Amino acid sequence: MNILLVMNGIGSVNGAPGISGGDVRAIELAKNWQLAGHHIHVFTSIAGVTLCRRMGLKSVFHIFHVPNSHSLKNYAVRFLKSWLLPKTLHDFKGIIYSTSEHIYDVIPALRIKKKNNNSIWAAVVHFVAPFHRTGNNLLNSMFFYANQRLGFNYIKNRADVVLAVSKNTAKQIENIGIKNNVYPVFAGVDFKKISEVVSRGPISKYDTLFMKRFNSTKGVFDMIEIWKEVTNVRKDAKLGMIGLGTEDIMTKLRSLVNSYHLEKNVDFLGPVYSFSQKFLLIASSKLFALPSYEENWGIVIGEAMAAGIPVLCYDLPEIKSIWENKVVWVPKGNKKVFAAKILKLLNDHQQREKLSRFGISFIKKYDWHDIAEKELNIMLSLNKSEI
pLDDT at position 143: 82
Alpha carbons 25 and 220: distance in angstroms, whole number:
22
- 154 lies in the same domain as 219: no
- 170 lies in the same domain as 200: no
For residue 319, give the nearest of 187, 163, 217 by alpha carbon: 187
Domain count, the chain: 2
For residue 32, give the nearest of 298, 387, 374 by alpha carbon: 374
- 350 lies in the same domain as 375: no
For residue 127, give the nearest of 360, 365, 322 by alpha carbon: 322
Cβ burial of 306 (10 Å; 0-12, 13-18, 19+) is: buried
Return the percent helix, strand and coil in the chain, to nearest 5: 50, 20, 35
The DSSP symbol for 189 reads B
Residue 145 CB coordination number (10 Å): 17
385 in any annotated domain: no
Q: 261-297: string of b/e by CB count within 10 Å (b at 16+)?
A: ebeebbbebbbbbeeeebbbbbbbbbbbbbbbbbbbb
Q: Mark residue 11 as left, alpha or beta (left: phi above 0; alpha: psi -120 to 50; beta: remaining).
A: beta
Name residues whose C-beta falls within 8 Å of residue 114's C-beta, 6 or more positions apart in sequence.
Answer: none
- 195 lies in the same domain as 183: no
386 in any annotated domain: no
Q: Answer yes or no: are the C-beta atoms of 8 and 78 closer than 8 Å.
A: yes
pTM over 0.75: yes
141 in any annotated domain: yes
- 169 lies in the same domain as 203: no
* Domain range for 77: 2-188+368-380
Alpha carbons 9 and 75: distance in angstroms, whole number:
9
- 182 lies in the same domain as 261: no
- 159 lies in the same domain as 278: no
Q: How does strand 16-17 pair with strand 12-13?
A: antiparallel
- 62 lies in the same domain as 144: yes
Name residues whose C-beta falls within 8 Å of residue 63's C-beta, 6 or more positions apart in sequence.
Answer: 44, 45, 46, 49, 86
Strand partners, 44: 7, 63
387 in any annotated domain: no
- 178 lies in the same domain as 248: no
Name residues whose C-beta falls within 8 Å of residue 220's C-beta, 6 or more positions apart in sequence.
Answer: 210, 212, 213, 214, 241, 243, 245, 249, 253
306 in any annotated domain: yes
Alpha carbons 53 and 165: distance in angstroms, whole number:
24
Alpha carbons 374 and 354: distance in angstroms, whole number:
31
Alpha carbons 237 and 95: distance in angstroms, whole number:
49
The DSSP symbol for 69 reads B
Q: In one letter, which amino acid is 141?
A: S
- 234 lies in the same domain as 335: yes
Give the number of residues written for the chain.
387
Angle of helix 103-115 relative to helix 72-81, nearest 10 degrees, comes to 10
Query: Within 13 Å of residue 387, how many CA atoms lie on the same side as its CB?
Result: 25
- Per-residue confidence in pLDDT tens, the chain, 387 aa: 999 999 999 998 888 999 999 999 999 999 999 999 999 999 999 999 999 999 999 999 999 998 877 677 777 788 888 899 999 999 999 999 999 999 999 999 999 999 998 899 999 999 898 888 887 778 778 888 888 999 999 999 999 999 999 999 999 999 999 999 999 999 999 999 999 999 876 678 999 999 999 999 999 999 999 999 999 999 999 999 999 999 999 999 999 999 999 999 999 999 999 999 999 999 999 999 999 999 999 999 999 999 999 999 999 998 999 999 999 999 999 999 999 999 999 999 999 999 999 999 999 999 999 999 999 999 998 866 555
- 7 lies in the same domain as 151: yes
Q: Answer yes or no: are the C-beta atoms of 306 and 363 closer than 8 Å.
A: yes
- Here the CATH number for the domain that contains residue 48 is 3.40.50.2000
Q: 95-115: string of b/e by CB count within 10 Å (b at 16+)?
A: bbbbbbbbbbbbbbbbbbbee
pLDDT at position 114: 93
| Radius of gyration, CA atoms only, the chain | 21
- 122 lies in the same domain as 216: no
